[in-house]
Chains A and B, each alone.
Chain A
Amino acid sequence: MTAVLKPRGSFRTGVGAALTHDSAGKHVSGTATYIDDMPEASGTLHAALVLSPLAHGTLRGIDAETALAQPGVVAILRAGDIPGVNDAGPIEPNEPLFAEAAVEYVGHPVAAIIAETLDAARSAAKLVKLDIAPLDPILSVEDAVARNSLLCPPMIVSRGDAAAALARAPHRISHRLRVGGQEHFYLEGQVALAVPGEDGDMAVYSSTQNPSEAQHIVARLLGVELNRVTCIVRRLGGGFGGKESNSSAVAGIAALAAWRTRRPVKLRLPRVTDMVMTGKRHGYLIDYTIGFDDDGRILALEATLASNGGNTLDHTAAVMGRALCHIDNAYWIPDVRAVGLCCKTNTVSNTAFRGYGSPQASLALEDAIDRMACVLGKPADALRELNFYGGEGRDVTPYGQKVADNLIARCVAQAKANSEWQRRRSEIDAFNASSKVLKRGLAVFPVKFGISFNAAHLNQAGAFVNIYSDGSIRLNHGGTEMGQGLFTKVAQVVAEVFQVDLDRISLAATSTGEVPNTSPTAASTGSDLNGWAAYEAASTLKRRMIEFTTEKFGVPPEQVDFRDNHVHIGGPASNHILEFGELAKLCWLGRVSLSATGFYRTPDLHWNRETMKGSPFFYFSFGASVAEVAVDTLTGEMRALRADLVQDCGRSLNPAIDVGQIEGAFVQGLGWLTNEELWWDKEGRLRTVGPSTYKIPGSRDVPPIFNARILEDAPARVATIFRSKGVGEPPLLLAIAVWSAIRDAIGSLASHQLPVDLDAPATPERILMAIGDLQERMAKA
């Protein structure tokens, strides 16, 4: 399967064109429709949730008498009201939608109130009384590790004999690093609208990245076969992983309510409910010991990664799998043993979030290398480069996949050149020598990110393309549009196949009724998978059109040339030209099927879950960043001053959209590592439950000098769609340079002689405390 980029004609909108998002005009005029904007059919009801106020307890009773007596209240749903199975587990079963015997976190859904209006539902939900006998909660990862409270058996990625290699190593450093989680803060909160049909059919409009899973869970809850449930989504107001599994619970409750009342029901979570009830990026507790030689070569690593999975498994094990597969990041480590502990706590069940464990894991070696630099008195950036993958015997990951087509050094060299590293390094050192209060820092970060779902079966996609008799094209595929521009990119692929303008292609809402058995739009695979599937469908149609033309006009197939919205028949000398629509009409009259599906499965993947060995990724994506910050040593406040990013996108399908992904991911990573702090009180209640308390970056937090570049002349070596690469997640990690630059700025207080102990996120408070801690150690030294 190969796709060859065709030379450009006047035709404007194929692969590689820097086009704006297909819905941009609708976004700016308020006409892009999200689920809560859809006109409500008469009789539509609204649901509101009753959540557990306690982190852990035995649920002894639900008293809904007062609530049900309120005007406008129609019904209540509890675990016992579910006709099918009370299970919303996305990967493994046994994750109840509504609490049964026990509540396991503050925010655990216990019941839903259904009413004629949203306000009636929400105010009645507040009147439901829960009888809960409190139980002792586990609220921290530390506590969970101590009590061996795990969601699944420990997972281990290892190679060689790390313990022996550490024992032999000339230098060893051990450290414990705490890495915070992150709220997705998609601007559109979770929402679903369920519309019951005849024969038990259920149509569910869900803001989900994972329509097939929503379909499966709705069917499971209702106890019906999958063909009874259709999940439809035109667009999401942001997802970032937060609508990969969490959205299914919302869809499930809406569907149960619609089933119960036989009326359409909408469930839209208020922001506070959304933030309390739905999962987030996992916080990690990382203990590591690294061994290295006098030159700074890493010899061995032992690491234990304990993640806060929350009260159920959800994606926790899969996230841990990716974390363990990215503990090496861009660095060659001969002997490794990395153990993953998925901790069960009485907090919200954490879930997928852009990066999926790799950002947390990738912090470990950055922390370690900075410490190594202190011990050896060498520049940290030189130590990073010394340890990059590459060269004979240094190009296989701990889990056994070859680091092929390695662009790490190239990305880093490019980022350093773009950032004028040498000049600024000395400028910053000079500034720090003369500035007592403000300190500046500079750091570089490389990323290597494996693209494909670790779970091999998910690496498949379908598409469905129709051509109508006027030559207009309708494109449908299994991917969801959540702002990342997937619909635009896939349409560009189809436009490229037919050599037609993009506006000839209508983009249909994703629907499990049109393309079944799809995978979530996740893991940076959206355009890789769906692009190929759409290419296959479009190519099938094109082949049929060529066959028809060949037969009808008696020309050889190579003399049927699609270009500039036309079909040129009979070779270069011929004047026989049909508009694309004319040929479509002829095909119809000639009884040619103008509807085709396409299917794609990523080749060459294998992964052994037991041994944690294999080649789970189709390819690696690479990138690098250089960041500069300034830190106020009096308050711990920080400003990112400049960032230079270089991201490998293969041969970009759409550079405008890819640059948008790079910039947006970086800023999201910046938030995760700096101001975004999830804060729970002693009772296990999350207290950062809205934008007034949970601070995602604003426009001023973006570095004033911000250069995001796509690595040039780097087509993918493997057969990706038109040699492009996925770009959704890797650039989020590029923000790690900011975190390292903060440590560099703090470290300047001790002339980089002492290591900086800084956990993530680096809030003003953590920065000030890290400064105080460093100054104490300086005083002792």
Chain B
Amino acid sequence: MSVPRILLNGVPRELSGVPPMMTLLDWLRGPAGLTGTKEGCAEGDCGACTVVAERLKPDGKIERSAINACLTMIGQVDGLGIRTVEGLAAADGVLHPVQAAFVASGGTQCGFCTPGFVMAAYAFAVGGEPPEPARIHDALAGNLCRCTGYRSIVEAIARVSPLPRDPMPEAATRIAPLARASAAEFAAPGQRFDVPRSLAEALALRAQFPSALLLAGGTDLGLLVSRERAMIPHVIYLGRVAELTTIEDGADVLTVGAAVTYTAALDVLVRYYPALERYLVRLGSRQIRNMGTIGGNLGTASPIGDFLPVLLALDARIKLVSAERGVREVKVGEFFTGYRRNALAADELIAAAVLPKLGPDSVFFVDKVSKRYDQDISALCAAYHLRMRDGAMHEVRLAFGGMAATPKRALRAEQALEGRAANDDSFADAVAATAEEFAPIGDWRASAAYRTAASANLLRRLQLRLTSPTVPIELDQL
């Protein structure tokens, strides 16, 4: 049995007696006595609980990423530095430059969201990105403020970023000793939290405890603990398994480990699939992408995961592995078997998603429609891949999310387009076919009628894109 160890605001802490499934937020506000970090929603959407996780990178530098303390379990932060709003100002009380910038720009009103904003801004400022408005909005997509109207907050961040020198003492020398060489098992009465470090360890645990819940990033499972206050008896946390956290850049395929976070995969995904650039930054928020994984999205098989249509359109394969039977690959379309159900066997783990790279004749686009641009679950989303040869569309794959109980291809629409030129006739047929093969539900995100109308119009947008219009046809182009 092990005890979680963290570096809290630069000071090593052994969390003995702390239940491993306790949320980081509850621990900070309770036993740790740090009430600066707030609970606004307990579902990872408001950002009031944002803290910064400090990780040692292979080059010895520290990577600082904003995370939602409400969705994070204590077992997940073992070995990390956690920086809270109390840990920014100097010992003599002099405000950190990020904090001072918020004060100077009038970026606080009621102040309840402020600690979360300050921490998101701190991660952004020390991250070294240029303070362009679009990037600042990306960095703030996971933080909600109801008072200021944001202008003053954005101004504060633009003023202070990038921060050439973080006045915070470098914590690298104190994080390094927290690293573990082998698996850890954290326990409390009625709770067990396993942290395997190798695939073999993970598979053995999986085989031994098939009913234990698998935890990749925790943006879904964390909800159960944080918002629903569920007591989960046993978790196997896959975020530290070396084999699951790597990306293999092969000749024809990109293999993304199941526990690779969206943040870690972002650059390489955008490099090979440029259409994903705006799409992926709308997938959750930075806080969510710093935790969430492709494997987690596959595992929950939720119909609303934005990345799943991408996998379908690209004809990706899912690599599954078990201790007993080794590796098998299934096509992503066969992996989803129903609402929140998938083809994973009780002793299997999702090892990776295998994404074919685009060919020279590939056309690949994605769409997301939601009420709010940032950090909103799609009313519908779509990904399209086809090959343009001799003016005709081939191997057409059109995949939609939000249109059925699982992410689903529009097979009849694909057929309607196959081998034809991209013109009004072929797309009129595709639109008609789509309307026939989907019977979407109506809910708070959109009515069935809207989903049907918008999905048809997205096909029209695809047609327009294929004609390379000279005037903007998307709001993002304005």
Contacts and interface: CB of A to CB of B under 8 A. Distances in A.
Interface of A: 20-21, 23-34, 36-37, 119, 122-123, 184-189, 235-240, 270-272, 434-438, 482-485, 630, 632, 634-639, 641, 656-657, 659-660, 663-668, 675, 677, 679, 687-688, 690-693, 695-702, 704, 706, 708, 763-765, 768-769, 772
A641 B477 CA distance: 13
Contact of B110 (A30, A434, A482, A668): A482
B112 A25 contact: no
B344 to A, nearest CB: 25
9 contacts: A28-B118, A122-B229, A188-B110, A637-B475, A657-B106, A690-B41, A692-B44, A693-B444, A702-B149
B103 A24 contact: yes
Given A30-B37, A677-B371, A235 B148 contact: no
Contacts of B137: 698-700
B196 to A, nearest CB: 28
Could you tell me the dominant secondary structure of chain B's interface residues? Answer: loop
A693 B371 CA distance: 9
Contacts of B229: 119, 122-123
Given A187-B110, A663-B149, A437 B473 contact: yes
Q: Dominant SS at the A interface?
A: loop
B36 A764 contact: no
B458 interface: yes
B285 to A, nearest CB: 9
Given A30-B86, A270-B42, A765-B447, A698 B146 contact: no
B236 interface: no
Contacts of A668: 146, 149
A579 B135 CA distance: 51
A34 B112 contact: yes
A188 B95 contact: no
Interface stretch (B151-159, B169-177, B178-186, B405-413): B151-159
A485 B458 contact: no
Contact of B458 (A33, A189, A635, A700): A635
Given A29-B88, A699-B136, A634 B460 contact: yes
B211 interface: no
B198 interface: no
Contacts of A706: 149, 151
B34 interface: yes
Interface string B363-396: 0000001111111110100000000000000000
B115 interface: yes
A270 B46 CA distance: 13
A690 B45 contact: yes
A270 B106 contact: no
B369 A27 contact: no
A383 to B, nearest CB: 29
A187 B369 contact: no
B190 to A, nearest CB: 13
Interface string B442-465: 011111011001100110110010
Interface of B: 29, 34-46, 48, 84-86, 88-89, 95, 99-100, 102-104, 106, 108-115, 118, 133, 136-137, 140-141, 143-154, 227, 229, 369-377, 379, 443-447, 449-450, 453-454, 457-458, 460-461, 464, 471-475, 478
Given A37-B35, A271-B40, A677-B371, A28 B99 contact: yes
The winner among B146, B148, B446 for most chain A CB atoms within 10 A is: B146
B149 A695 contact: no
Contacts of A185: 144, 146
A608 B192 CA distance: 68
A185 B146 CA distance: 7
Nearest to B93: A29
Nearest to B473: A437
Contact of A187 (B34, B38, B84, B458): B38
Nearest to A707: B151
B67 to A, nearest CB: 17
Q: Looking at A23, A185, A637, which has the most chain B CB atoms within 10 Å of its CB?
A: A637
A634 B367 CA distance: 12
B119 to A, nearest CB: 9
Contacts of A687: 443-444
A664 B147 contact: yes
Contacts of B29: 36-37
Nearest to A28: B99
A254 B473 CA distance: 55
A438 B464 CA distance: 13
A656 B106 contact: yes
Contacts of B43: 271, 690-692
B114 A28 contact: yes
B376 A238 contact: no
A701 B372 contact: yes
A187 B146 CA distance: 7
Nearest to B476: A639
Contacts of B151: 663, 702, 706, 708
B303 to A, nearest CB: 15
Contacts of B461: 437, 634
Given A639-B475, A663-B148, A30 B84 contact: yes
Contacts of A484: 109, 147
A660 B443 CA distance: 35
A437 B104 CA distance: 42
Contacts of B37: 30
Given A187-B38, A764-B379, A772-B453, A26 B111 contact: yes
Nearest to A662: B149
A186 B114 contact: no
Contacts of B108: 20-21, 23-24, 27-28, 483
B41 A271 contact: yes
A657 B40 CA distance: 24
